[in-house]
Structures are given as structure tokens and as C-alpha cells.
Amino acid sequence: MGKKKTYSFSYHVYQSFDELRAADQKLVKSAIDATRNSYSPYSGFQVGAALLLENGQIITGTNQENTAFPSGLCAERTAMFAAGNQFPDVPYTALAVAAKSVKFPVTEPVQPCGACRQVMSQHEIKFNKSFRLLLYGESGEVWEIEKASALLPFSFHPKL
């Protein structure tokens, strides 16, 4: 028997960057610009993240790879940990992520990895406040997700 439960979430697809409101365009543009600082000699996949804080600050991050592979870090966590270091008491409002590759066109908006989703989710729990994601590839399309933690149902958050 038991009971069937459903988990679902909705997200908004903008066909073009131009459809975004000005503040979101600025944030996505910061993420796109940040890809220039990606250090990704192994994957050639250049990711930029731009985190908007509630105090108006924008903190950027890029993926930083290393020859000892697990020592590298994704763009999203680079930005989130920099913000946690510089502004530990300020919640996020939105996180934009953009990607391009030296090997192929990135035709779909980039989708954050599981470890980054865990860190995003914990921020929402810490501040009891959700923040938006704006995901961008190279096609111009933007996906907007209202609540970052929606991307990681059943995340690990025990009372330790």
C-alpha cells in the first residue's frame, strides 16, 4: 500500500537574455564576463558565477582546476565561499551562472553539480531565505529557478 508522494518544481525559460529585467541582465552579464577568469586547462569548460547579495554587492567566481583533479572547485562554490568569507552575515538574492567551452558550443544553460546544490541549499537553511538561480549557456536562453534548493530535494541536512 503506502502513499505516493510527488516532488515537482517549475522554472521559467526566457528565450533570450533581452527578456530579462535590467538587474538580472546585469547579473548574467557579470557571470558571462567572469568566464574569462576560469582556470580550466583540463576540461576547457569555462564557468562564471555572479552572486548578488542582499546588500547589493556582486561577488564573482570561476571554476579553478588543478592537476590533482579533486583539488579544483566549481565556479558556484568559488563565489559562494568568497561571499561567506567577505560577507558572512549577508544572504544571497540571486546567483547567475554562465558557461562556454573551448571545445563545443554550450547550447543549453549550465546546470550546477550536486555538490554546489548542497552548498546552495544550506545557505537557504542558514538564513531561512530562498534565492533565485539564473542559468545561462551560449544560446541566449536563460532558465530562472525561484528557489535554489528546489534543485536538490531530500538534501543532507541533519541536526548535528
Supply φ then ψ for residue 103, to 5 degrees: -105, -30
Cα 135 from Cα 62, distance rounded (Å): 14
**Closer CB to ligand THU, 112 or 137, in the complex:** 112
**β pairing state of 45-53 and 92-101:** antiparallel
Give the residue from 1, 9, 30, 46 showing the smallest Cα distance to 134. Answer: 30
Which residue among the candidates 76, 124, 138, 141 is catalytic per the annotation?
Answer: 76
- Positions in 76-135 near ligand THU (CB under 6 A): 76, 97, 110, 112-113
Q: Which stretch binds ligand THU (CB under 6 A): 9-17, 25-33, 73-81, 144-152?
A: 73-81
Residue appearing with cell numbers 563545443: 104
Cα 127 from Cα 124, distance rounded (Å): 5
Q: Does the protein bind ligand THU through residue 24 (CB under 6 A)?
A: no
**Closer CB to ligand THU, 30 or 40, in the complex:** 40
3-class secondary structure, 73: strand
- Positions in 26-55 near ligand THU (CB under 6 A): 40, 43, 45, 47
Residue 76 among the catalytic residues:
yes
Q: Which residues are near ligand THU by CB under 6 A?
A: 40, 43, 45, 47, 63, 65, 72, 74-76, 97, 110, 112-113
Catalytic residues, which ones?
76
